[in-house]
Amino acid sequence: MASSRHRASSYDSVVSAIPDRDLDDPQQRSEIFYPAVQSLTNALGGYEEQETVPGSGVYETVYRPGDSILAVLKDLKKLWRKDDSDDERTVARCMYRSGLMKELISILVGMTERGDWGKKVALVACESFA
């Protein structure tokens, strides 16, 4: 899993940098969208080892969300919509290559028991499946 905790890119900056003429060729679409998808996937968060009791030497693996996880999930959903007119489903293929599905499952598993905020994050992640 990714461990970056900073939002690496935003949807608006990624999409505004894409010339319309490059969106016709599937290979060019992939070359354009994959780095953005990978960057956003990395910004979701990842697993870290955390000592259960300070000084105990006993560790557990916990999911640490990125600093802007909700905004990143929303940006990924916007990118997903770019495939509405793409028969090749280029963005979906980029999301598969980036490991996004594993990351979304990790978010669902790791965030649901973290209070209202965690439930909100899990719900937004769940909406990404739809």
pLDDT tens digits, 93-129: 999 999 999 999 999 988 888 899 999 999 999 887 6
DSSP string, 7-30: ----HHHHHHTS-GGGGSSHHHHH
Residue 34 DSSP class: H
CA distance 98 to 2: 10
Q: From 37, 36, 40, select the one nearest 4 (Cα to Cα).
A: 40
Q: Which two tokens stand for residue 88?
A: 């090749």
pLDDT digits (tens, 9 = 90+) for 23-76: 667 778 888 889 999 999 999 999 999 998 898 999 999 889 999 999 999 999
